Amino acid sequence: MTTPFTSDAEIIAIGEGVVARSLPKPAWTHAAHFAAAVWLVAGQFGLVAERDMPGLIRAYNTSTGVENTDTGGYHETITLASLRATRAFLSGLPEGTPLFAACNALLATELGRPDWLLAYWSRERLFSAQARRGWVEPDLQPLLFPAR
């Protein structure tokens, strides 16, 4: 695996770029989604990840010309599952682990694969309008990351 991040400054720039809606759209990758999640879960910017990330992503999408609809844009179940996974992963790391090292370690797990959620949800259920609008429980196996 290529190490995607080499400094905390990169993680911070992604997080702040989403908040400011200035992150270039091509930079909003799977790795960048988790970088923003790591940044938020780590308590950056005084935000609460589960409360604030949905609105941040919706606003960011709108600013980049992406509509938040039942078929595209913001996805509640994916966002909340990713935040739960991020929070659980970070809780197992030593205190003071640099953000970029934490994010790289997370991306080196199954979470680094964009299709990791399909181990828990069927494609039909995960990509339903209901799952985009709100939390939908997995239908293949339980998500073992606790809700917080």
CB atoms within 10 A of CB 81: 24
In a domain, 128, yes or no: no
In a domain, 12, yes or no: yes
27 found inside a domain: yes
Identify whether 55 is part of a domain: yes
**Could you list the residue range(s) of the whole structural domain that residue 50 is in?**
8-114
pLDDT tens digits for range 69-97 = 999 999 999 999 999 999 999 999 999 99
- Identify whether 132 is part of a domain: no
Q: Could you tell me if residue 93 is inside a domain?
A: yes
Rounded Cα–Cα distance for residues 8 and 101 (Å) = 8
Cα angle value 9/12/13 (rounded, 5°): 85
Is residue 140 one of the residues assigned to a domain? no
Between CA 85 and CA 110 the distance in angstroms is: 11
- The pLDDT tens digits of the residues spanning 97-123 come to 999 999 999 999 999 999 999 999 999
* Average pLDDT across the chain, whole number: 94
pLDDT tens for 39-58 read 999 987 788 999 999 999 99
Structural domains in the chain (count)? 1
Cα separations in angstroms, 85 against 12, 65, 88, 148: 19, 28, 5, 11
Binning pLDDT at 50, 70 and 90, where does residue 144 land?
Answer: confident
The model's pTM: 0.93
Does residue 126 fall inside a structural domain? no
